[in-house]
Structure 1
Amino acid sequence: MSGPEVSSRERILGRVRRALADVPGDGAPPAGPAYEQEVERGYLRRHGDLDAAGTVELLAENLADYRALVHRCSEAELPSLIGRLLAARGARTVVVPPGLDPDWLSGTGAERVEDTATDSPERLDAVDSVVTACAVAIAETGTIVLDGGPDQGRRRITLVPDHHVCVVRVPEQVVSSVPEALERLDPVRPSTWISGPSATSDIELDRVEGVHGPRTLEVVLVSA
C-alpha cells in the first residue's frame, strides 16, 4: 500500500532541510575544508555624509527621477493639500486605512471607502484614489516602504487604485540607505517597496505606466 503523495513543494523543502542538517544554528560556518567561510559583510551602511536636510533633498530628487510627483507642506497645511490633490484628480472616492489620521482628509469631500478584509479587486478598482502614510523612505533609492501598519492598510489598497497619495514625515521617516531602512522594519511584517508609479517597458523600451499598480504616485513630504 503506497504512502501519501508528496507535493513538489514538500520535496524541495525536504532537500533544503537535509542540506542544512549539519549547519550550526548560530550562523557560523561548519567545520571542514569542504565548506566556504562566512561571507564578509563589511559594506558601507550609507554613502556620503549628508545631514538630515540634505538626505530629504536627495529623497525628493530621486522620487522625481522615478516620475513620482513630490509635494511639500507643513502639518497644518496637509489636509488642504490632500484635498487639492484629490480634487485635481477628480476623485469621488478614496480608500482609507483604518489607522489614518482622520484630520488628513478633512479638506476633501470625496467619499471615504474603508479598508476591509472583504474588499475584492473589482471593488478597489472602482475606487479613484488611496491615501496612506509610510513606514520609512530611502533617499539613495527614492523608495517608499509600507509595512501594513494601521495608517498604511493592506497591501492591496495601494496596488489596485490608480492614484496613490503617500505621506512621509520629514526628516524622521527618511533614512539614507537600504541597510538603514531594514534596521527600522520588522522582518515578519509584509513590506511593499515603491519606487515611483508602477511601470514596465517592452523590448523597444516603450514605457507603460499603471500595469502592476497605481499609474500616479504623489508623495507629500510633511514637516512639523
Structure 2
Amino acid sequence: MTGNSSGTSRDEILRRVRGALGRPEGPAAGPAADAAALARDYLSVHAERNARQSADLLADNLADYRAAVHRTDAAGLPGTIARLLTEHGSRRAVVPPGLPPEWLSRVTGVELVPAAREASARELDAVDSVVTGCALAIAETGTIVLDGSPDQGHRRITLVPDHHICVVLAPDQVVDSVPQAMPRLDATRPLTWISGPSATSDIELDRVEGVHGPRTLEVVLVASG
C-alpha cells in the first residue's frame, strides 16, 4: 500500500481498522479514544479465597511449573535457607545488598558473595546459588515477580546462577491474579516475571532446562501470624 493525501500508509491502515470496529474518525480518533472505548468489565480475580487458600493455590501452581516449594514461618526461615543451600551442595551464594541478614544467620560452610552491579556473567557463573526476596507472587498463575529492589538485586544475579532460592512473605506478598498485581508494581522498574525454572523445548518437544535462567527454582513461602 502506498501513502495517500490524508497521511501515511500506517494512518490508512489504522483508519480502516477503526472503521471496521466502529471507532470515531477525525479529531476524536487516536490511541486515547481507542483505549477509552475498550471494555474493561473482565474479572479481576476468578474466585473468592482467604489468605491461606491463596497461598495454597500459589504453591500448587509453582509445583506445576516444577518449582520446589517449601513452607515455613519467620522463625524457621533461616534454618530453611541454610538447609536448601547445603542440600544443593552450594559452596558460594550471591546475596543482594538489602537481603535481611537474619535470613542467612544459620548458613555455614557457604561463602556469601555480595551482589556487585559490575559483576560479569562469567563471575556469576562461578556462583552456585542466589538468595533473594521478591516484589510479589501471583497465585492464579504461579508467578514470582522481581523488581530489582534491594532484597532482590539487579536482574543478572537471578539469571546466571543455576540455583535460585526466592523468599515470598505470605500473605503480604501474595495476590490472587495479574489484575491485582499490576497496581502494586512500578512499571518503571526492571520487572522480571518468573513462572517456574527456566525451560524451553525444541521441535521434538524435548524439554531443556536452564537455557534462560536457573535450572532449579526453590520458593520459600513464609507464613506470618
User: Normalising by structure 1, what TM-score?
Assistant: 0.85
Spell out, residue by residue over 1:99-150, the C-alpha distance to the aligned partner (whole angstroms, 9 max, x if none).
0001111111211111112100000000000000000000000000000001
Deviation string 1:185-216 (CA, Å, 9 cap, x unpaired) is: 01111100000000000111110100110000
Superposed counterparts of 1:21-170, under 5 Å: 32=26, 37=34, 38-109=37-108, 110-170=110-170
Cα shift at 1:173:
0.6
Secondary structure in 1 matching 2:145: strand
Measured after TM superposition, the shift of residue 30 of structure 1 is 6.7
Q: Secondary structure at the match of 2:60?
A: helix
Stretches of structure 2 lacking an aligned partner (at least 5 in a row): 1-8, 15-22
Q: Residue 102 and residue 34 in structure 1: after superposition, are their counterparts in 2 closer, same or farther (change >3 A)?
A: closer
Q: CA RMSD in A?
A: 2.2
| Paired residues, number | 201
Ranges of 4+ aligned residues in structure 1 off by more than 6 Å: 33-36
Q: Tell me, which stretches of 5 or more residues in structure 1 are unaligned?
A: 1-14, 21-28
Measured against aligned partners, the alpha-carbon deviations of 1:155-196 in whole angstroms (never above 9, x if no partner) come to 000000000000000111100000111111011111000000
1:133, 1:207 → 2: CA distance? 28
How far, CA to CA, are the matches of 1:106 and 1:51 in structure 2?
32
Identity %: 64
Map 1:206-221 → 2, pairs under 5 A? 206-221=206-221
SS of residue paired to 1:40? coil
CA distance in 1, matches of 2:210, 2:46: 32
Aligned pairs for 1:191-206 within 5 A: 191-206=191-206
Cα deviation, residue 52, structure 1: 1.3
Q: Give the distance between the partners of 1:112 and 1:51, measured in 2 at CA.
A: 37
Partner of 2:173: 173
Q: Distance in 2 between matches of 1:58 and 1:190?
A: 26
1:16-42 CA distances to partner (integer Å, 9 max, x unpaired)?
9xx99xxxxxxxx87548767521122
Equivalents in 1 of 2:203, 2:176: separation in Å?
33
- What is the aligned partner in structure 2 of residue 6 from structure 1? none
Larger helix fraction of residues: 2
- 2:46, 2:179 → 1: CA distance? 11
